[in-house]
Amino acid sequence: MNRNSKLYEDLDQVLVTREEIARKVRELGERITEDYKGKEPVMVCILKGACMFFTDLIREIDLPLSLDFMAISSYGSATKTSGVVRVLKDLDNAIVGKDVIIVEDIVDTGVTLSYLQKMLYQRGAASLKVAALLDKAARRTVKDLKVDYVCFDIPDAFVVGYGLDYDQKYRNLPDIGVLSPRIYEKK
C-alpha cells in the first residue's frame, strides 16, 4: 500500500517506516537464531496485533521452530487498557519442557505481558522469553517486567499499523504511525 492512501490521512506522523521495520526484524531473527542454536523453540503469536511482526520474524529465524497462536483481549475499543486480560483463544499444544518465545506487538503498561508470562510459566515451559515489536516504556506500571527482545522503543503516543489497531482498524498499514487524536476524541 502506498503512503498516499486515504488511511494515512488519519495519522499525525509515520513513526517507523516499513523499511526500518524490515531491517530490525531481520536483525532480531538473526539474534534469535544465534541465541537458540541447537534448540527448537515454540513461537507464540499473540493475536491479532502481532500477526505481521510474527510472520515476518519467523521467516528470519533459521531454526526448526514450531508455531502456536493465542488470542487475548485487554483493551476493548478504547485507547486505554482495562487491566483485565481475557484469553479468547488458547494455545493448541502443550508447552511442557519447551523453549517458548512470546511474540507481542507492543508492551505498554505491561499488564498483558506479565499475565501471559505467569500463565505460560505455570504450564511448565523450560524457558520463556518475550519478543516485542514496540516498547512504550514510559507507560509501564508493572515493575520488574523483563522484555528480552525489542525492535523499537517509542514515545507515549497511540500508534497503529503493521498489525496494531484502533477499534480493529489500520492493522493493514505497512508502516507504523501515530494516530491523530481527532480520530478517537470524536468518539
Residue 48 preceded by cis peptide, ω within 30? yes
106 contacts ligand IMP (rule: CB under 6 A): yes
Active site residue 167: no
Please give the angle made by the CA atoms of 106, 107 and 112, to the nearest 5 degrees: 110
Amino acid letter, residue 103: V
Residues 6+ apart with CB under 8 A from 184: 78, 79, 158, 166, 167
Of these partners, Mg ion, ligand IMP, none, which one is at the site of residue 152 (CB under 5 to 8 Å by kind)?
Answer: none
Cell matching residue 134: 514496540
The residue within the footprint of ligand IMP, chosen from 105, 116, 131, 183 (CB under 6 A), is 105
* Footprint on residues 117-176 left by ligand IMP (CB under 6 A): 158-160, 164
* Residue of 28, 32, 44, 49 interacting with Mg ion (CB under 5 A): 49
Q: Between residues 24 and 112, which has the closer beta carbon with respect to Mg ion?
A: 112
Q: How far apart are CA 54 and CA 51, in angstroms?
A: 5
How far apart, in whole angstroms, are the C-alpha atoms of residue 85 and residue 175? Answer: 27
Q: Which of 56, 99, 105, 108 is catalytic?
A: 108
Q: Which is nearer to Mg ion, 36 or 53 (CB)?
A: 53
Instruction: List residues with catalytic annotation.
Output: 108
Q: Which residues bind Mg ion (CB under 5 A)?
A: 49, 105
